[in-house]
Structure 1
Amino acid sequence: MKTNKRHLIQTILLFTFLAVSLFALGLLAMGAVKRGLFEPPPIDNIYGVWEEQEVPGYMADAFEIREDGIYVGGSIVTTRYNFNGVTLTYHVGQQLYLYTYSSQKLIRDKPAHYRSVFVRK
């Protein structure tokens, strides 16, 4: 009797999984769900001037990301940076800068004096 009940539960779970999968595929086929929903943002989404938030304006950091490098105060500080769609990294001298891209914001993880949030100007 236990095996019949277990077999019934497994069968129900299998058919539920198949129904949900077919429903999801149907949504994709109809275009109701975008195919690129889970893809990282393209690199050109980070180009621009980024300003620090939640600090007084006179203390706010700002930097610009261009195709050819990272700029601070109008001067280039590095030509080498890496953005993989989630994290931005670069070095200025020996100092590593590490940012996490989330919800159209860059959050500075290193150097971490305090939690720095940057938004594009």
Structure 2
Amino acid sequence: MNVRVKNKPEQGKKTLSFPYQFSWLRSLMWLSAMVALYALLQGMMLLNVKYQQATHPESLIYGSWVEQDVAPYRADRIVISQHGVAIDGRVVATDFQFDGEFLTFHQGSEERHFKFQNENWNEMTLQTDKSYQPVFVKI
């Protein structure tokens, strides 16, 4: 007994005349989602910066700072103001960053990082690769 079954691939299948007709819409939705996510992240970063500026204003560290545990004639004196950073009477940077824990500015081609030791911001340490890390106290 020979039994033949005819295979009809069109039967039971829904055919589309344009198989990719909605791919541009899907791509547009993904692109919109990515742009929205990017905008959300940028907004969150901006809010964080504004919060840090409100809770840790730069004016907390304005004033004169003197290096400790060295002879008075060898001690560096740093003055921080809204106009910039001056070391031993010479302006070395007109722009600096303060995030509540670190003070960062550029002195020539060198970037200097100071870490604040106390929550009342009256003592900071210069972060260096050397074994000696000078400590500065606000006067």
Same fold (TM over 0.5): yes
Aligned partner of 1:26 in structure 2 is none
How many Å separate the matches in 2 of 1:64 and 1:109? 18
Task: Give the residue type in structure 2 aligned to 1:55.
Answer: V
Query: How many angstroms does 1:110 deviate by?
Result: 2.9
Q: Percent identity?
A: 31
Q: Measured at CA, do residues 46 and 98 of structure 1 come closer, stay the same or move farther in structure 2, by a change above 3 Å?
A: same
Alignment root-mean-square deviation, CA: 1.9
Bigger share in helix:
1
State whether structure 2 residue 112 is matched by structure 1 residue 97: yes
In structure 2, stretches of 5+ residues that fail to align are 1-53
Match of 2:65 in 1: 50
How far off is 1:61 after superposition? 1.0
In structure 2, C-alpha distance between the alignment counterparts of 1:113 and 1:82, rounded to whole Å:
25
In the alignment, the residues of structure 2 paired with residue 96 and residue 61 of structure 1 have an alpha-carbon distance, to the nearest angstrom, of 17
Paired residue for 2:83?
68
Give the structure with the higher percent strand: 1
Q: How many residues align?
A: 83
* Residue 74 to residue 67, structure 1, CA distance change in 2 (3 Å): same
Q: State the SS of the aligned residue for 1:45.
A: helix
Return structure 1 stretches of 4+ with deviation > 6 angstroms: none
TM-aligned CA distance change 1:46 to 1:115, over 3 Å: same
Cα drift, residue 93 of structure 1: 0.9
Moved more, 54-63 or 44-53: 54-63
Larger Rg: 2
CA distance in 1, matches of 2:63, 2:130: 22
Q: Select between 104-113 and 47-56 the one with higher mean Cα deviation.
A: 104-113
Normalised by the size of structure 1, how large is the TM-score? 0.61
Please tell me whether the aligned partners of residues 62 and 72 of structure 1 are also in contact (alpha carbons under 8 angstroms): yes
* 1:106 corresponds to which of 124, 129, 138: 124
Corresponding residue number in structure 2 for 1:78: 93
